[in-house]
């Protein structure tokens, strides 16, 4: 009985993560995200049980130290009780990074566990797309959600995340994994069907950032399998088909719409303006709402645009400054040297490439579901050396 209980505690939070992942924002309770709670419990278990850490975890710790320092620096800058709102985001990123340790201890036991993790990630991508179609046919107009701070999306797959940009990236991750499986496995029929379903689902998100993320990930796969020309042809065909998608004279889903691009540029300018007020250590992780109110204008804390930026890199610059940005880049570069070239390495490199491109247009790197997804992919390729 004790052995069973131990095994459950060493893996239960991973499977709870997968179980609630596809339900996205619709099971949110106030400011509490159940997925954050699961990751937080896994992090607490990891810390109190003193689970072995991968050697590369020290680079995560360096970034955590910098984010903590930036938050403390921000408290001195703003001197308002609302800085503790940013402290909640600091707790979140700490929990997700310790979640890496928890998942890594499960993945490193055997290859079967690593495959199970990757298969589970593919499954949540597929289920998320299925939920997207359910929303598309039953609730195609999100205008009623505007009063709660959500955008008024119409005739787009937004799924349970209530945002086509993030659903699109989750679908892209699953699509990249599926395409790799098609090229590596003999029995391809089921994976071909999954790829077609995910590709059509992605198209109906009308998320151009997700389209670009797919193209970027495809080039990584094409480079590995040496079929660059085939990918270029596929991209041209896909782009051509995008112009055949139904728009119902709805400007929000036109492929060549310009208003969202203009809004994104304005957001970049605002974020850079905030960065200019404290370029060395930033305004504190994550004190963006306070920074908006002090340097730009009033922004309600319940606004979903308040605590982020339309670029993950600019978000890091604004909240942790040049110091944090340098440490972040160093962390990524050092993690790259601690990866092992196993059967999942191509999934990681294509997924991260897609994420990087997508994060230029959305703060996707720090979106809980995306962050958890990519960190799990990272664990299956992270070196097996244990940090004492």
Q: Rounded to whole angstroms, how far apart are CA atoms 368 and 219?
A: 26
241 belongs to a structural domain: yes
What's the mean pLDDT in 286-300? 80
Checking if the pLDDT of 3 tops 70, the result is no
254 belongs to a structural domain: yes
Full domain range(s) for residue 294: 13-387
4 belongs to a structural domain: no
322 belongs to a structural domain: yes
Residues near 150 by beta carbon (within 8 Å), at least 6 away in sequence:
142, 162, 163, 304
Q: Rounded to whole angstroms, how far apart are CA atoms 134 and 138?
A: 6
Per-residue pLDDT, 180: 95
Cis peptide before 78 (omega within 30 of 0): no
What's the mean pLDDT in 256-281? 89
Checking if the pLDDT of 270 tops 60, the result is yes
What does the pLDDT look like over 59-108, one tens digit per residue? 999 999 999 999 999 888 887 777 787 888 999 999 999 999 999 999 99
What does the pLDDT look like over 211-266, one tens digit per residue? 999 999 999 999 999 888 888 888 898 888 888 888 655 666 677 777 778 888 99
Q: 282, 317 in Cβ contact below 8 A?
A: yes
3 belongs to a structural domain: no
1 belongs to a structural domain: no
How many domains are there within the chain?
A: 1
Which parts of 185-311 fold into alpha helices (H)? 189-203, 208-225, 228-242, 259-277, 288-291
Tokens 């609730």 locate to 139
Nearest to 65 by CA among 285, 238, 244: 285
Nearest to 182 by CA among 234, 114, 134: 234
Q: What is the DSSP letter of 372?
A: H
Q: Over the Cα atoms of the chain, what is R_g? A: 21
21 belongs to a structural domain: yes
Q: Rounded to whole angstroms, how far apart are CA atoms 308 and 319?
A: 9
Band (pLDDT 50/70/90 cuts) for residue 31 is: confident
Q: Rounded to whole angstroms, how far apart are CA atoms 24 and 33?
A: 9
33 belongs to a structural domain: yes
């Amino acid at each position: 009985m004790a052995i069973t209980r131990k095994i459950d505690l060493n893996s239960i939070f991973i499977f709870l993560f997968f179980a609630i992942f596809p339900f996205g924002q619709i099971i949110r309770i106030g400011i509490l995200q159940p997925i954050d709670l699961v990751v937080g419990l896994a992090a607490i278990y990891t810390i109190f049980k003193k689970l072995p850490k991968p050697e590369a975890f020290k680079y995560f710790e360096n970034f955590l130290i910098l984010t903590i320092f930036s938050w403390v620096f921000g408290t001195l800058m703003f001197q308002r009780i609302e800085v503790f709102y940013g402290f909640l985001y600091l707790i979140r990123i700490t929990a997700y990074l310790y979640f890496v340790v928890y998942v890594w201890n499960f993945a490193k036991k055997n290859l079967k566990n690593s495959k199970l993790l990757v298969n589970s990630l593919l499954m949540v991508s597929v289920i998320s797309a299925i939920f997207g179609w359910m929303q598309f046919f039953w609730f195609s107009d999100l205008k009623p959600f505007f009063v709660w701070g959500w955008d008024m999306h119409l005739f787009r797959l937004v799924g349970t995340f209530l945002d086509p940009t993030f659903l699109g990236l989750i679908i892209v991750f699953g699509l990249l994994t599926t395409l790799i499986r098609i090229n590596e496995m003999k029995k391809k029929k089921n994976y071909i069907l999954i790829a077609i379903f995910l590709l059509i689902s992605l198209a109906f998100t009308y998320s151009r950032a997700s389209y670009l993320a797919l193209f970027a990930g495809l080039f990584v796969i094409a480079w590995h399998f040496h079929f660059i020309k085939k990918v270029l042809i596929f991209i041209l065909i896909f782009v051509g088909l995008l112009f055949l998608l139904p728009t119902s004279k709805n400007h929000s889903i036109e492929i060549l719409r310009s208003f969202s691009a203009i809004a994104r540029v304005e957001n970049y300018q605002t974020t850079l303006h905030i960065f200019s007020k404290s370029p060395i250590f930033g305004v504190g992780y994550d004190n963006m709402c306070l920074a908006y109110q002090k340097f730009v204008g009033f922004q309600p804390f319940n606004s979903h645009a308040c605590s982020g930026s339309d670029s993950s890199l600019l978000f890091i610059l604004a909240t942790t400054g040049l110091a944090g940005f340098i440490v972040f880049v160093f962390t990524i570069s050092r993690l790259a040297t601690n990866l092992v070239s196993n059967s999942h390495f191509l999934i990681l490199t294509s997924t991260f490439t897609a994420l990087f491109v997508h994060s230029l247009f959305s703060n996707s790197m720090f979106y809980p579901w995306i962050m958890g997804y990519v960190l799990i992919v990272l664990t299956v390729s992270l070196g097996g050396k244990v940090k004492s």
